[in-house]
Amino acid sequence: MKLCFVLCLALFWVELQHGNCQQAKRRKDSGENRIRPGGKRGKIRHPKVKEGGGRGHSLLTQVLEKGRFLRLGQSTVLAPGNNMELRCKGSNIGWSYPTYLDTFNDSRLSIVQSDKYSQLTLTSPSAADTGQYSCWVVVCDGRECEKDHEHVYSSNIYFADKDNLFVPSDIHFEIVYLRPDKPAVVPCRVTTPQAKVSLHREVPPEEIQANETLVNYDPAKGFVLQTPGLEYQGVFYCKAVTKGTPQISTKYQLLYVEVPSSPPFVSLQASSELVSGGDNVNVTCSVIGEPDIDVSFTWSYPGEGQRPVHIQTTWRLVNRGRGQTTRITQSVLSVEDMETIDFGKYICKAKNQRGETLVMTSIMSK
Ligand SMILES: *[C@@H]1O[C@H](CO)[C@@H](O)[C@H](O)[C@H]1NC(C)=O
Ligand SMILES: *[C@@H]1O[C@H](CO)[C@@H](O)[C@H](O)[C@H]1NC(C)=O
Ligand SMILES: *[C@@H]1O[C@H](CO)[C@@H](O)[C@H](O)[C@H]1NC(C)=O
């Protein structure tokens, strides 16, 4: 799995360089959280999240020796190596923790729910396990369960490691997309909240000055660029210092993307719209969109279910000048040896996270 991921990333990078690749499988940048036991993802009725539990005390505690407990605040610094046991009171508790632990299906992590509490155990934690750990109460109404957004308790847990000031990652070259309409994050998180971190451009070498309003550093997230623009394109890295020699993070390629976030822009074209029986036809459905937005295709065609067709989906990144990068995703439906049943309407439905677009073309007999 790790290998595939690294390989895919390499493919992705090669593709950026050469502008040609087929369906590299990439990990979604799924942010911090995953939901484990205690209830499926349900409808979300109260989108309020109370960090640390608001009014009441946090129900999230760390189990110390000899039956002592420590209530966790917004941030907690622990020593790596010692097993971590977190407890959350309640008979039905959900948890989230750094996605890294799920991505690699880490057996060091276990969660046990008992009558009165749920316990999350992480054995031999290391700097890489630094991140946000949360628990919440799951409320059920019959079979429908959901997260109680009034009772969510979180702590950013740092496994301080002076040899790894940055949270280690398997990705040695990460791509960060800059969009004009939302903040971008250069995710150089640290394992010690006290580390002094700066952001640097590689060429020309330059330190980007942190500025409360435009660029600020959050040890749990990284550098947040509030209104990312073209000026932030290029290769960047972070530098951290506590005492002694500074450490350098992985490198980040910042790419500016101007395509709006919307349902896919689709075009559909047949290799020929007037054909004779026995001909071969390709119908190509193309989507132009944002580099990191996946597109899926669904086809409807006259011979559906009766005639075999071949469908191939590929994508590539295209540099559109001024440093803008666009992704072209194509699905090609090929019909060989056209028969009467194959003439008619070909409909391509392209779907991304924002919505779907339908386009149609007709293939007629000469
Ligand atoms: C994760 O590990 C468990 C137990 O080792 C195994 O049953 C499960 O299939 C694994 N899941 C994935 C996605 O590898
Ligand atoms: C941040 O930078 C902007 C633009 O350069 C400037 O207008 C603003 O005053 C700066 N804010 C601070 C707190 O330095
Ligand atoms: C359809 O696409 C395939 C693969 O790209 C190509 O080999 C073939 O010549 C195309 N056929 C037509 C009729 O354009």
Read off the pLDDT of residues 342-356 as tens digits, 9 standing for 90 and up: 999 999 999 988 889
Q: Is pLDDT above 50 for 30?
A: no
Per-residue pLDDT for 23 more than 50?
A: no
**Stronger pLDDT, 16 or 146, i.e. the higher one:** 146
pLDDT value of position 112 = 94
Model pLDDT, residue 28: 33
pTM of the predicted model over 0.85: no
Q: What is the pLDDT of residues 266-276, one digit of tens each?
A: 989 999 989 99
* Same CATH fold assignment for domains 21-159 and 173-256: yes
Q: Which residue has the tokens 């690699």?
A: 104
CA of 105 to the centre of ligand 1 (A): 6
Domain residue limits, the chain: 21-159, 173-256, 265-365
Q: pLDDT: is 229 or 357 the higher one?
A: 357
Ligand nearest to the CA of 108: 1
Q: Minimum mean pLDDT among 50-59, 215-224, 228-237, 282-291: which range?
A: 50-59
Q: Strand 344-352 relative to strand 144-159: parallel, antiparallel, unpaired?
A: unpaired
Give the pair of three-digit tokens for residue 164.
Answer: 């790894």
Could you tell me the fold of the domain covering 21-159? Immunoglobulin-like (2.60.40)
Nearest CA to ligand 3 atom 3: 282
Q: What is the pLDDT of residues 186-221, one digit of tens each?
A: 999 999 999 999 999 998 899 998 887 889 999 888
Cα separation of 256 and 184, whole Å?
10
Name the token pair of 57: 């005390």
Task: Determine the atom of ligand 3 nearest the C-alpha atom of 272.
Answer: 13
DSSP 250-278: EEEEEEE--S-SSSPEEEEEES-SEE-TT
Higher model confidence: residue 27 or residue 150? 150
Backbone dihedral region of 303: left (phi > 0), alpha (psi from -120 to 50 degrees) or beta?
A: alpha
Does the Cβ of 1 fall within 6 Å of ligand 1? no
17 Cβ neighbours under 8 A, 6+ residues apart: none
Over residues 134-157, the mean pLDDT reads 91
Pocket test for ligand 2, best of 208, 209, 211 (most atoms within 8 A of CB): 211
CA of 352 to the centre of ligand 3 (A): 27
* Dihedral sign computed on CA atoms, order 16, 17, 22, 24: negative
Class of domain 173-256: mainly beta
Phi, psi of 281 (to 5 degrees): -135, 140
Rounded-to-integer distance, Cα 330 and Cα 314, Å: 5
What's the CA gap between 308 and 301, in Å, rounded? Answer: 11
Pocket lined around ligand 2, Cβ cut-off 6 Å: 211-214
SS3 at position 102: helix
The answer to whether the CB of 114 is under 6 A from ligand 1 is no
Distance from residue 36's CA to the centre of ligand 1 (Å): 13
Architecture of the domain made up of 265-365: Sandwich (2.60)
* Ligand 1 atom closest to the CA of 1, numbered from 1: 14
Residues 6+ apart with CB under 8 A from 221: 185, 187, 189
In 10 A of CB 251, how many CB atoms? 14
Ligand at minimal distance from the CA of 110 is: 1
d(CA 178, CA 214): 14
Nearest CA to ligand 1 atom 10: 105
Task: Please return the burial class of 297, using the count of CB atoms within 10 Å of its CB with bins 0-12, 13-18 and 19+.
Answer: buried
* Beta carbon of 17 within 6 Å of any ligand 1 atom: no
| Cα(39) to centroid(ligand 1), Å | 19
